[in-house]
Amino acid sequence: MSNESQPLNAAVETSVDHSTLDMKAETEMTPCVRKEISRMFHLAWPVFLAYQLETLPGPICVALVGHLQGDDVSVLVDAAYMSATVTNVTALAIGFGLASAMDTLCSQAYGAGKMDKLGIYFQSGLIVLGVALVPISLLSWHAESVLLFFGQDPAISKYAGQFSRVTIFGIPFLFVYELIKKLQQSQNIVLPMMYVACVGVVVNVVTGFCLTYYTSWGFLGAAVGRVCGSVALPLTIVAYFHYDHATTSTWWRGFQWRDACSHVGLFLSLGVPSMTMLAVSWWAFCALGFLAGILPNSVHAVSVNAVLGQLLTLNFMIYLGISVASNVLIGNALGANQPQRARLIARLGLTAGGISAAIMASLFLVGRHAIPYLFVSDPLTIEHVATAMFVMVPLGVFDGMNGICEGIFKGMGLQTRAAVINILSYYAFGLPMAYYIGITCGYDLEGVWLGFSLGTTACFGIFIAMIQSTDWPVLAKLAQDRVQL
């Protein structure tokens, strides 16, 4: 294990040891605010950087294809982008969502000192995601038909289908990596995963560059490069496990398939609502793109919407680090029967999110005329993006804060409630308001984003009310019962 991780792990392990004594005495020491802030910071920043690296394969493919020579380059670029979109909203939304069961199970088991459970949950995840690979693979294999069904250009759909039939071979490796990453995060081990993600990006860039420009594969060389980057992720982790065998041996007790199968139901009870929570959010933002496509000046609107989407993704990554840190630490605390500490961490996570929101909102508004130049050069698009950022910023704030709330709910093990609120807020309120204000009332793309922001705002309000009314001792008891199953 890296030296940077050791102090934090030691601190958490100490808290776990104390929690055992606290549990016996049915008391809990007053949590230290400064110590929890330090733990959250040391978890959040490597997670933020790792997730930034993990978002790069799609843009890397688009960039590699975009520098090819030929009259059909624009079609190939669109195809690479559409292939990445199909992968995100099908394979990754489903697989990564199901893997999020580990966020609750492993963090609470680690807090309770049940290290053997980590290996069992990991193997349960392998079984669940292995089964999920069947429909995911079929969807990816038939990506061309999926795109044609949604009215996409036939030429773009054809090439996107070819691209997806290559990248599909990297998906199993991504799923294994995601399970291991969450297992490591639950133990407060985050720096090694950041380095692993960096290795994956380097392999992706180098192999993609060589295969795209120096072999006959061309367009498909970028897809093979992405597969190579995906394969490199779990292979690098295996090398790390060999190096840090002492830590790995604390949770890996060999294959325990019978125990793993017996925990599949528990895994699904948390994984399915986690998948729903993630997919609902991703699909809703994809729907904004479809709404932009039916506006009067659709080509211009789609271009502006794409830039706003990139900015929103960049903004969300800031909150994602806080979300994961809150998730892990709350799960650790509840597993260790420390409900007051879990409550404090939830408040600190929301406070950190509020500070981040103020900083990011200020940066976006001050730089609204300069930031669009990073993505486009068309003056009209830049001017429209600068204006639309006034409605994008509030949406970004509440979207990010909702992400932190979702992390808190994962730590609690209350994904189902959060998923229901997401569905109602986004699909019963946000998207209808986006259509009404943007299209029916004629307020263009700004109206679409403003309408959807009403849904995210409502979602945040409900989330906060739920967190404020949480009975933390009851959740701690539920966590104790869960890790005993």
The secondary structure of 63-103 as a DSSP string is HHHHT--STTHHHHHHHHHHHHHHHIIIIIHHHHHHHTHHH
Averaged pLDDT of the chain: 90
More confident residue, 325 or 376: 325
User: Which two tokens mark 65?
Assistant: 């294809």
pTM reported for the whole predicted model: 0.88
69: pLDDT strictly greater than 90: no
Per residue in 198-246, pLDDT (tens digit) is 999 999 999 999 999 999 999 999 999 999 999 999 999 999 988 888 8
**Mean pLDDT in residue range 419-446:** 95
324: pLDDT strictly greater than 70: yes
Asked if 456 contacts 309 with a C-beta cutoff of 8 angstroms, the reply is: no
Instruction: Say what the pLDDT of residue 128 is.
Output: 98
Buried (b) or exposed (e) across 17-35, using 16+ Cβ within 10 A?
eebeebbeeeebeebeeee
- Residue 113 falls in which region: left (phi positive, over 0), alpha (psi -120 to 50) or beta: left
Q: How confident is the model at residue 401 (pLDDT cuts 50, 70, 90)?
A: very high
Instruction: Say what the pLDDT of residue 301 is.
Output: 87
User: Which two tokens mark 299?
Assistant: 């080509």
Instruction: Say what the pLDDT of residue 27 is.
Output: 67
Per residue in 144-186, pLDDT (tens digit) is 999 898 888 899 899 999 999 999 999 999 999 999 999 999 9
Instruction: Say what the pLDDT of residue 20 is.
Output: 45
Per residue in 101-148, pLDDT (tens digit) is 999 999 999 999 999 999 999 999 999 999 999 999 999 999 999 989
**Mean pLDDT in residue range 347-371:** 96
Q: How confident is the model at residue 333 (pLDDT cuts 50, 70, 90)?
A: very high
Lowest mean pLDDT among 7-11, 94-98, 302-306, 414-418: 7-11
More confident residue, 241 or 472: 472
Q: In terms of Cα–Cα distance, which of 43, 160, 186 is closest to 107?
A: 186
Instruction: Say what the pLDDT of residue 10 is.
Output: 37
Instruction: Say what the pLDDT of residue 26 is.
Output: 53
